[in-house]
Amino acid sequence: MRRAFLTNLALLLVLNLLVKPFFILGIDAEVQVRAGTAAYGDYAALLSLSFLLNILLDLGITNYNTRNIAQHTHLLKKHLSGIIGVRLVLVVLYALATFATAMVLGYRADQLGLLAILVLNQVLVATVLYLRSNIAGAQLYTTDSLLSVLDRVLLIGLVGWLLWGRYAAEPFPIQAFVWAQTVAYATTALVALYIVVKRAGGLRIRWNGAFMWVVLRQSFPYALLILLMTFYYRTDTVMLERMLPDGALQAGIYAQGFRFFEAFNMLGYLFAGLLLPMFSRLIKQKDDLAPLTGLAFRLVLAGALAVAVAGSFHAQALMDLRYTEFTERSAPAFAVLIWCFTAVCTTYIFGTLLTASGDLKALNWMAACGMLLNIGLNLVLIPRYQALGAAWASLITQSLTALVQVLLAARKFRFAMPWGGLASAAAYAAGLLALAWWSRGMALGNALLVLGAGGAVLAFATRLLDVRMLRQAIALPRGR
């Protein structure tokens, strides 16, 4: 299984490094520049609102389905036919709940019109993720990897034409960006549906009340977990926009730094998507989880610490590289926010392991406390520190919840305390900080080159990454 993890992770990283950072930092950031910070901030707040109740589209079915199909692949056709019928009902529930929330929060009619398109986009994205869960559960990792970037490839082409073709000589309307997303997501959903139906041997949508009840009852703990985690991950932008007199502007400033964090976070998310079916299969087979968990955590920690150190020490230069206004206000928020990447990546390893085990009670308690902590911190910090306050609230929440998940996984699976690994990680972090301090006066390109090359050397010199461990993992027979 470690060999499958490394080879498929390599493919995922290559595809996503080529596509997603370019979309976020090239296309999405250019949309903000051309549409204006306040207009984009208004869109960002509505986008976050559409995310908050997104779980009603899924109710945990996707995570439940990935785990279930990974362990019982022969049930693909039966579950596909029944679950699609359930999801059609959930679409109506999600749309009603989202618009009701928007009206309670006092959004204007023109904002509700934009929200309607975003709701449609969320339906399409959730559909793609559900269909991909069947593909990943069936261990078709290469196909899933290609689907993971298809929507972004289409968006780069569509929005690129809009930016530098259709609207090259006039202000860029944010609605055009949102409709381009609709086209890209719908195309990806159709491609994914074709692949899954072909794999399942056909599709006949049916309504089965008993089956629906079983699926929803078993997926509810996953739904609750995702809902709670979404609240402490996505409320920042909504609270900034609603709480402050210049809320749309502050949300746009926060979005400048959040975009860089999100670009890296998408790479971290790849670990979770790849590990969930692998952990599920290992748990069913009662195999040792420690080797794969340790390998994944060391890899993600090496990358996350390097990104966090580079981002925090060179925040102003990174913001100036992409934006022309408000960078002196977005850079401090980004310098704090980028450290969330280390905490979130830790969650992607240990939270995914706990999710694969199916014992979600403790995770849900953790997420509920995290949500309350994040909202409380935002209520205190946003009025005083605006975007910077939201960044600190996120860092505190993400760090504490990540630590809890590590402790829960260690206790549940009886992992021995990796004192050697902790010492290696501490030495690696200290070395990175020293390199970052030394590179402060350099041009951004040179500083990042020093940190990248130096970080790679440090990772092996401190034995955070072990050549022998990687060689043994690659040499293992396929599937082990």
Q: Quick one: average pLDDT of 221-227?
A: 74
Q: Which residue has the higher pLDDT, 473 or 385?
A: 385
In this prediction, residue 64 has a pLDDT band, given cuts at 50, 70 and 90, of low
Check if the beta carbon of residue 38 is closer than 8 Å to that of residue 172: no
Q: How does residue 264 score in pLDDT terms, banded at 50, 70 and 90?
A: confident
Residue 411 within any structural domain of the chain:
yes
Can you tell me the distance from the alpha carbon of 206 to that of 83, in angstroms, rounded to the nearest whole number? Answer: 9
Name the nearest CA neighbour of 351 among 421, 296, 424, 430: 296
The whole-angstrom separation of Cα 305 and Cα 297 is: 12
Of the pLDDT bands very low, low, confident and very high (cuts 50, 70, 90), residue 476 is very low
User: DSSP secondary structure string, 24-74?
Assistant: IIIIIHHHHHHH-HHHHHHHHHHHHHHHHTGGGGTTTHHHHHHHHHHH-GG
- Residue 413: both structure tokens together: 């699976």
Summarize the confidence of residues 312-317 as an average pLDDT: 90
| 52: confidence class by pLDDT, cuts 50, 70, 90 | confident
What DSSP designation does 389 have? H
Residue 39, Cβ neighbours under 10 Å: how many? Answer: 18
| Cα radius of gyration rounded to whole Å, the chain | 22
One-letter amino acid of 282? L
pLDDT value at 6 more than 70: no
What is the band of 10 on the pLDDT scale with cuts at 50, 70, 90? low
* Per-residue pLDDT at 390: 92
- Does residue 463 belong to any structural domain of this protein? yes
Question: Residue 271: pLDDT above 80?
Answer: no
Report the alpha-carbon distance of residue 176 to residue 86 in Å, rounded: 31
Separation CA 358–CA 367 (nearest Å): 15
Q: How confident is the model at residue 480 (pLDDT cuts 50, 70, 90)?
A: very low
Q: Which domain holds residue 263?
A: 2-475
Percentage above 90 pLDDT, the chain: 21
> What's the pLDDT score for residue 165?
86
What pLDDT, on the 0 to 100 scale, is given for residue 205?
A: 64
Those residues with Cβ within 8 angstroms of residue 192's Cβ, 6 or more apart along the chain or in another chain: 127, 128, 131, 132, 135, 147
Alpha-carbon gap, residue 386 to 336, rounded angstroms: 13
In sign, the C-alpha dihedral spanning 327, 332, 335, 340 is negative
- Give 294's contacts (C-beta < 8 A, 6+ positions apart): 418, 421
Whether 282 and 67 have beta carbons less than 8 Å apart is answered as: no
Q: What is the pLDDT of residue 77?
A: 61
Identify which has the larger pLDDT, 234 or 120.
120
Lowest mean pLDDT among 67-76, 250-259, 386-395, 430-439: 67-76
pLDDT on residue 87: 79
pLDDT for residue 378? 93
In a domain, 69, yes or no: yes
Average pLDDT over residues 88-116: 88
Specify burial of residue 25 (Cβ count, 10 A radius: 0-12, 13-18, 19+). Answer: middle
**Is the confidence at residue 117, as pLDDT, over 50?**
yes
- Among 402, 48, 53, smallest CA distance to 227 is for 53
Alpha-carbon span 183 to 418, nearest angstrom: 48
Stronger pLDDT, 294 or 58, i.e. the higher one: 294
Residue tagged 């994040």 (tokens): 374
Task: Write the DSSP string, 392-414.
Answer: HHHHHHHHHHHHHHHHHHHHHHT
CB 268 within 8 A of CB 344: yes
Average pLDDT of the residues in 341-349:
89
End-to-end CA distance of the chain: 4
Task: Say how far apart CA 172 and CA 82 lie, in whole Å.
Answer: 42
Residue 69 has pLDDT above 80, yes or no: no
Is the pLDDT at 111 greater than 50, yes or no? yes
Q: Distance of CA 291 to CAs 18, 296, 406, 424, Å?
A: 29, 9, 16, 17
User: Is the model's pLDDT at 57 over the cut of 60?
Assistant: yes
Instruction: Identify the residue with better confidence: 34 or 379.
Output: 379
Report in angstroms the alpha-carbon separations of 440 from 92, 96, 309, 315, 316. Answer: 52, 51, 11, 11, 11
- The total number of structural domains in the chain stands at 1
How confident is the prediction for the chain on average, in pLDDT?
A: 82
Determine, yes or no, domain membership for 330.
yes
Q: Residue 480 falls within a domain, yes or no?
A: no
Confidence band of 217 (pLDDT split at 50, 70, 90): confident
pLDDT in tens, 439-468: 887 888 888 888 889 888 998 888 888 767
**What is the rounded distance in angstroms from the CA atom of residue 221 to the CA atom of residue 479?**
29
Please give the full DSSP string across 284-309, using - where no structure is assigned.
HHT---HHHHHHHHHHHHHHHHHHHH
Q: What's the confidence (pLDDT) of residue 400?
A: 94
Whether 286 maps to a domain, the answer reads yes
Burial class (CB in 10 A: 0-12, 13-18, 19+), 324: exposed
pLDDT, position 372: 92
Say which range, 102-111, 224-233, 299-308, 311-320, has the weakest mean pLDDT. Answer: 224-233
